[in-house]
Amino acid sequence: MMTGDQYVESIRKMKLRMYMFGEKITTAADDPILRPSLNSVKATYDLASCPEHADLMTATSSITGKKINRFCHIHQSADDLIKKVKMQRLCGQTTAACFQRCVGMDAFNAVFSTTFECDKKHGTGYHGRFVKYMRKVQEEDLVVDGAMTDPKGDRGLSPSRQADPDLYLHVVERRPDGILVRGAKAHQTGISNSHEVLVMPTVAMRPDDKEYAVCFAVPADAEGVFMIIGRQSCDTRKLEGSRLDVGNCAYGGMEALVIFDNVFVPNERVFMDGETDFSGMLVERFAGYHRQSYGGCKVGVGDVLIGAAALAADCNGAAKASHIKDKLIEMTHLNETLYSCGIACSCEGRKTESGNYQIDLLLANVCKQNVTRFPYEITRLAEDIAGGLMVTAPSEKDFRHPEIGPYIDKYLRGVAAVPTEDRLKVMRLVENLTLGTSAVGYRTESMHGAGSPQAQRIVIAREGNIEQKKELAKRIARIGQK
């Protein structure tokens, strides 16, 4: 396994094509806006090196038999699924941000089982190719960006009926040695910090969408791949040299629009090409795994936010107020409910035909449906407890100013025993988690990540088995019986 420092150097050596604010960037490792997001990924390596976290952060590979980072693991039991959620909570507690490796891990497990079943039906050789690819990922301890979301264009039209065919990534040419693809993937979390990108279809495809039913992997710096970094609230604060104003100065997240401009993919890295009847299975399985993930990562960040709200109450001298205590209890209740759903869908996991384990699909979607709601209430309560100072406090430059700084120190102090600077640090942390750069990986992503709320409700409706419940009611009411 790589160390955190080795990981950073491996990213620095890559030839990524990135654009941000209209300028070309060579590496996330040395960019002040992107480096905090790189640090979040680095933490997944650092934690794996800690003996006290080895049980959660590492696993034994089913492919090589070697010790590997759990983020590269193919789940072999319900216990693996449980440890995944616990690992994600630990990483969220450590970074208070998105640590970006979950999407790749979830893609690994979805592609692993889907390719096995596709081969069984169609006689294709995708599963063997993918196992070989996973051996490389595990042995080199790579970060792989799972790429599913296409721009989609007109949501009322299927991929093949779009006015612009590139609005869904598709095959444009087939060669004896591989395929040529073109299109884009949107909202790609962690792509600037990834060694590879694993592309999947974004929706279940119809027979006439054959060119869009494609799954493959390429290096993130492959010819024709480039990324346009997305804006985040308060992102340019990182350029100001202020640790106080950023709130979470060490860690962060990032997203980008990733362009695939006639990218060549060799056959050995193609894991689906035209099998439309398995595109829906791949999408659903990935979505299930990723909706499970939110019961861990968002809970870990929630732990930090609850702690920050409690600290704000201490700084404000309001910690003993009954309504503050009640709000902290409610935040904890909501956070632990999310965790319970993540653990529950893991405990109910089952073995697939390929041998890896899949979560309970219904409970995973219930987990994510709760995530679309509860973090918003946790955020509201944190902002309530913290007070308006979290968004009206002067800058660090003002605080350090020899003339006006003493006035800020005097008038923005809360409890006399707590330094004003510490109070401001707590306020900025709450701001960062609820409104700033970390909010992208907590607040907004809770709504749209792993599919919209309606996507989960569709699965819940299908998996909820209303007919069985009606039969239960009929039996108890003795309907049809004398």
102 is annotated as an active-site residue: yes
Report d(CA 168, CA 213) in Å as an integer.
10
* Annotated catalytic residue within 102, 118, 215, 315: 102
- The number of beta carbons lying within 10 Å of the beta carbon of residue 44 is 26
Residue of 45, 168, 289, 294 with catalytic role: 294
- List the catalytic residue out of 127, 170, 187, 290: 290
Please say if 445 is a catalytic residue: yes
Q: How far apart are CA 380 and CA 294, in angstroms?
A: 19
The answer to whether the CB of 197 falls within 8 A of the CB of 133 is: no
User: 124, 189, 372, 437: which is the annotated catalytic residue?
Assistant: 189
Q: Known catalytic residue: 353?
A: no
Is 98 marked active-site? yes
Catalytic residue check, 95 = no
Catalytic residue among 255, 383, 396, 431: 255
Is residue 268 annotated as part of the catalytic site, yes or no? no
Helix then strand then coil, % of the chain, to nearest 5: 55, 15, 30
Q: Give, for 161, the enclosing helix (H) or strand (E).
A: none
Confirm if 38 and 25 have CB atoms less than 8 A apart: no
Q: What is the DSSP string of 220-289?
A: TT-TTEEEEEPP-TTGGGGGTT-HHHHSS-S-----EEEEEEEEEEEGGGEEEES-HHHHHHHHHHHHHH
H/E element, 116: helix 102-122
Name residue, tokens 């090589």: 64
Please tell me which residue in 72, 91, 98, 215 is annotated as part of the active site: 98
3-state SS, residue 300 = helix
Q: 98 with 440: CB under 8 angstroms? A: yes
Annotated catalytic residues are 98, 102, 189, 255, 290, 294, 297, 445
